[in-house]
Amino acid sequence: MLDLTHTPPKPKVIAGARHDWELVIGMEIHAQVSSKAKLFSGASTGFGAEPNSNVAFVDAAMPGMLPVINEYCVEQAVRSGLGLKARINLVSAFDRKNYFYPDLPQGYQISQLYHPIVGEGEVLVEMGPGIARHVRIERIHLEQDAGKSIHDMDPNLSFVDFNRTGVALMEIVSRPDIRGPEEAAAYVTKLRQILRYLGTCDGNMQNGNLRADVNVSVCRPGQYEKYQETQDFSHLGTRCEIKNMNSMRFIQAAIDYEARRQIAILEDGGSILQETRLYDPDKGETRSMRSKEEAHDYRYFPDPDLLPLEIEQAWVDGIAATMPELPDAKKARFMGDFGLTDYDANVLTAELEAAAFFEAVAAGRDGKQTANWVINELFGRLNKEGRAIAESPVTADQLGGVLDLIGSGEISGKMAKDLFDILWTEGGNPAEVAAARGMKQVTDAGAIEAAVDAIIAANPDQVEKAKANPKLAGWFVGQVIKATGGKANPAAVNALVAAKLGL
């Protein structure tokens, strides 16, 4: 797509022993659908339950049990597709991907290889003001998650829990459009943000609700451009797939390690073997998953237990009609309506709740000042105390009240910070707290003038110095504010001091 407002970021270049190399990265993100029940059974998707308690006989693959699809999961896949500006396929179908593993009781995973529910879309990944990569989405398909194996409870046995077996996943497959570890992390961050805005996946990476498989290859500079012109993969290097990562830090470290491993092999005259690898965060390296290789013949075929999934355009239109404002649109609106910088708009739109808080405060007030207060004072304090925005002791109304007191000149910026602190720890109505604590800056010209006169009369030496060097007038301003107990309006004092000294 032609984009006149962004320039693409420079690809990451790694200098090898012999020459430069570039990275080419494609990703498969597994995002757990935010459903209460599983994709094909009525068992709960709840995290952290007793082992094998969230299991229906369908999930345990008991003979004769048949899958019945959860319509909410289908809706969330469509909603995610619309959020990625993707084509929605009104007819899709489920296939069986066959392999044996203890955490897969059916002996196959129900997935959508041949006819996915969502087709080609796009994600805008910003890497700085005016710099962004358009990452093409190839498809999104619905599939079942596998169970969980625990290997450290017994020296000779693995323990298997089927609670996660059959939970709905959206596998979001990108084209190889990502060109470095930082871009890969930014892509995952952006995708996670969009899914969270849509409410289709909670994005909790720690619980494994968003996981990434990363395909990495390296090529000589210039080769990637040839690929983009022709879409012919032969211009690119052989790729390796690093499986199942659930941390932005690990994703970046694994890509960096894997690229350097491949470069070392190629520069040594060797060739890359296409294989599946695992990242070991303790050792900081990737290693081959040989067991997966043997089983790579998945013998896909259409699942005879499930008819094709047919949805109606009117139903899709109904979902489209309830789409929320998405991150790109919200950011653009914040910059346009409130005059925010690119950076501030990014920070304030990162999470939906934070954006809503900002908007509630900014309504009818100065956008930039509100942004400063929300980002510096509110977020600063929340981060320090490890709280989420929903747990903020200061509400949007209270923060708005503080800003109103600054705006009317009743309190100074310094007083406002003190007031914010009191509201944070003790609560209360901002105007009432300010009045009760005697927080009121003196704007009365007469009172300030008297203080200025007194300081000038008491310090004739300083007056002479200031007349020679106007920069020293600041000393008088400081003295006056001190003399008024910090309550004098600094702007008013500045003006009076300058006038009295004849500067």
- Beta carbon nearer to other proteins, 66 or 321: 66
Count the residues in the chain.
503
Q: Residue 298 class from Cβ within 10 Å (0-12 exposed, 13-18 middle, 19+ buried)?
A: middle
Q: How far is the CB of 352 from other proteins (least distance, A)?
A: 22
Contact status: 162 vs other proteins (CB under 8 A): yes
Contact 184, 214 (CB under 8 A): yes
Contact 262, 239 (CB under 8 A): no
Contact status: 35 vs other proteins (CB under 8 A): yes
Choose the binding region for other proteins from 66-74, 252-260, 345-353, 451-459 (rule: CB under 8 A): 66-74
Q: Give residues 467-496 in contact with other proteins (rule: CB under 8 A).
A: none
Radius of gyration of the CA atoms of the chain, in A: 30
Which of 245, 247, 257 minimizes the C-alpha distance to 284? 257
Site mask for other proteins (CB under 8 A), range 249-278, x = bound:
-----------------------------x
User: The tokens 């694994």 sit on which residue?
Assistant: 254
Choose the binding region for other proteins from 11-19, 67-75, 435-443, 469-477 (rule: CB under 8 A): 67-75
Report the residue from 73, 123, 347, 374 that binds other proteins according to the rule CB under 8 A: 73
Q: Give residues 74-103 in contact with other proteins (rule: CB under 8 A).
A: 74, 98, 100-102
3-state secondary structure of 56: coil
Report the residue from 7, 158, 230, 341 that binds other proteins according to the rule CB under 8 A: 158
Choose the binding region for other proteins from 212-220, 294-302, 376-384, 444-452 (rule: CB under 8 A): 294-302
Q: How far is the CB of 95 from other proteins (least distance, A)?
A: 13
3-state secondary structure of 375: helix
Residues sharing a CB contact under 8 Å with residue 277, sequence separation 6 or more, in sequence order: 240, 241, 242, 243, 258, 286, 287, 288, 289
Contact status: 37 vs other proteins (CB under 8 A): yes
- Beta carbon nearer to other proteins, 309 or 382: 309
Choose the binding region for other proteins from 155-163, 357-365, 445-453, 467-475 (rule: CB under 8 A): 155-163
Amino acid at 428: G
Report the residue from 2, 282, 299, 321 that binds other proteins according to the rule CB under 8 A: 299
Report the residue from 7, 13, 18, 42 that binds other proteins according to the rule CB under 8 A: 42
Which of 225, 139, 242 minimizes the C-alpha distance to 181? 242
How many CA atoms does the CB half-sphere of 28 hold within 13 Å?
A: 14
- Beta carbon nearer to other proteins, 227 or 298: 298
Q: Give residues 122-151 in contact with other proteins (rule: CB under 8 A).
A: 149-151
Contact status: 454 vs other proteins (CB under 8 A): no
Report the residue from 309, 347, 382, 473 that binds other proteins according to the rule CB under 8 A: 309
Contact status: 52 vs other proteins (CB under 8 A): yes
Report the residue from 23, 55, 382, 466 that binds other proteins according to the rule CB under 8 A: 55
Q: How far is the CB of 287 from other proteins (least distance, A)?
A: 9
Bridging pattern class, strands 91-92 and 285-288: unpaired
Contact status: 161 vs other proteins (CB under 8 A): yes
3-state secondary structure of 94: coil
Q: For residues 185 and 178, what is the distance between their CA atoms, to the nearest angstrom?
A: 10
* Residue 110: both structure tokens together: 């129900």
Contact 144, 306 (CB under 8 A): no
- Among positive and negative, which fits the CA dihedral 256, 258, 259, 263? positive
Report the residue from 24, 27, 31, 56 that binds other proteins according to the rule CB under 8 A: 56
Residues touching other proteins: how many (CB under 8 A)? Answer: 52
Bridging pattern class, strands 240-245 and 276-280: parallel
Contact status: 60 vs other proteins (CB under 8 A): yes
Report the residue from 160, 170, 198, 371 that binds other proteins according to the rule CB under 8 A: 160
Contact status: 41 vs other proteins (CB under 8 A): yes
Report the residue from 154, 268, 282, 391 that binds other proteins according to the rule CB under 8 A: 154
Q: Residue 428 class from Cβ within 10 Å (0-12 exposed, 13-18 middle, 19+ buried)?
A: middle
Q: Residue 43 class from Cβ within 10 Å (0-12 exposed, 13-18 middle, 19+ buried)?
A: buried
Interface positions with other proteins (CB under 8 A): 35-37, 41-44, 50-58, 60, 68-74, 98, 100-102, 149-151, 153-162, 278, 289, 291, 295, 297, 299, 306-310
